[in-house]
């Protein structure tokens, strides 16, 4: 059976920041800068492979499950905790799987039947971490918005939500994202209370907002009002239609993974991508080229880009057909 996460991608999965929500008012004048994105290629040499976890029936391996049309889907992504270990949403084996930073197997937390949709299907995705080591996942079950928490002591609990929220980022205590109407919201993961906001917050409570339009991203931070024009390096006259993932490091840098579709002709298009950071003063880093983001085994229900709470070095996760891989910036 195809996981419902595939069906609910527009609501809860990709972590793509919508362009329909207004950014907060900024006193700084708008500054325009340009970022050149490239068609999918090899990953920049500035990244180091830190773990490769293959698929299989052994407990130390991650599982795969049929996804329709002959596809075998991998895990629903993972998250690194402040203690440097990782928890992966291993849907095929109906568990959260625990690994070291280098990919050594540390154990598992098997979901009770009551946490499985219809008692059989793992319908949780997009793992996030809280500062105390709690792991939180979002329900993808139709008409059942909720969060599932795994405490540091291994206890599961469920918190109901009054609507679905696409969680984009955590400050370690609250989650920030978009609700079903595209509104920017804050979620208290232990109570399920959802409130409207005009900005998101990352590590250290650093505030920002991102909105996207045809060919650009707008980033607002305190004292920063930045319009980033996105250009396809191979076809600079074509328009990039972007989506983004974003996270904040302990040093205050806002990292943005920008992807986009470029229509080359009425019958052909290709993807472009690039990763860059925006400092607290609005300075842009170099743009790091990306490898292919998705594979046939990727359920597309979580974030490639992340930063461990307490760290300033971003990571990239790829759910490939033979293994799940994590890279960290050198």
Read off φ and ψ for residue 5, nearest 5 degrees. Answer: -60, -35
> What pLDDT, on the 0 to 100 scale, is given for residue 39?
92
Q: What is the pLDDT of residues 148-159, one digit of tens each?
A: 999 999 999 999
CB 187 within 8 A of CB 194: yes
Q: Which residues, listed in sequence order, are joined to residue 8 by a DSSP beta bridge?
A: none
CB 120 within 8 A of CB 111: no
| Long-range CB contact pairs, 115-119, < 8 A, 24+ | 115/148, 115/156, 115/158, 117/4, 117/141, 117/144
Question: What is the average pLDDT across 266-285?
Answer: 96
> b vs e for 248-281, b when ≥16 Cβ sit within 10 Å of the residue's Cβ?
bbbebbbbbbbbbebeeeeeeeebbbbbbbbebe
Give the mean pLDDT of the chain.
91
254/247 Cα distance (integer angstroms)? 6
Q: What is the pLDDT of residues 42-72, one digit of tens each?
A: 999 999 999 999 999 999 999 999 876 777 9
312/266 Cα distance (integer angstroms)? 42
Question: What is the average pLDDT across 251-270?
Answer: 97
Q: What is the pLDDT of residues 203-242, one digit of tens each?
A: 999 999 999 999 999 999 999 999 999 999 999 999 999 9
Say if residue 259's pLDDT is above 70: yes
Say if residue 119's pLDDT is above 50: yes
38/24 Cα distance (integer angstroms)? 30
Say if residue 15's pLDDT is above 50: no
């Amino acid at each position: 059976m195809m996981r419902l996460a595939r069906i609910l991608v527009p609501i809860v999965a990709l972590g793509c920041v919508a362009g329909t929500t207004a950014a907060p008012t900024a006193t700084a004048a708008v500054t325009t800068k340009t970022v050149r994105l490239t068609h999918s290629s090899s990953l920049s040499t500035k990244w180091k492979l830190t773990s490769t976890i293959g698929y299989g029936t052994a407990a130390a391996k991650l599982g795969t499950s049929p996804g329709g049309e002959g596809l075998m889907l991998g895990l629903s992504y993972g998250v690194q905790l402040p203690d440097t270990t990782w928890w992966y949403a291993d849907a095929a084996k109906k568990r959260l799987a625990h690994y070291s930073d280098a990919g050594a197997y540390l154990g598992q937390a098997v979901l009770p039947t009551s946490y499985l949709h219809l008692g059989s299907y793992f319908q949780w995705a997009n793992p996030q971490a809280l500062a105390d080591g709690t792991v939180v996942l979002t329900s993808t079950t139709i008409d059942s918005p909720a969060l599932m928490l795994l405490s540091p002591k291994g206890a599961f609990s469920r918190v109901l939500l009054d609507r679905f929220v696409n969680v984009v980022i955590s400050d370690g205590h609250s989650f920030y994202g978009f609700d079903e109407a595209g509104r920017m919201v804050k979620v208290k993961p232990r109570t399920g209370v959802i409130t409207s906001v005009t900005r998101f917050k990352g590590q250290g409570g650093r505030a920002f907002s991102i909105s996207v339009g045809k060919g650009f991203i707008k980033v607002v931070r305190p004292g920063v009002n930045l319009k980033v024009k996105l250009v396809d390096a191979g076809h600079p006259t074509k328009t990039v239609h972007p989506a983004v993932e974003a996270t904040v490091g302990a040093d205050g840098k806002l990292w943005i993974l920008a992807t986009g579709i470029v229509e080359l002709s009425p019958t052909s298009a290709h993807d472009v991508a690039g990763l860059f950071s925006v400092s607290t003063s609005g300075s842009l880093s170099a743009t790091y080229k990306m490898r292919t983001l998705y594979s046939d085994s990727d359920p597309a229900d979580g974030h490639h880009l992340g930063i461990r709470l307490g760290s300033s070095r971003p990571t990239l996760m790829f759910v490939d057909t033979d293994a799940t891989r994590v890279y960290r910036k050198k």
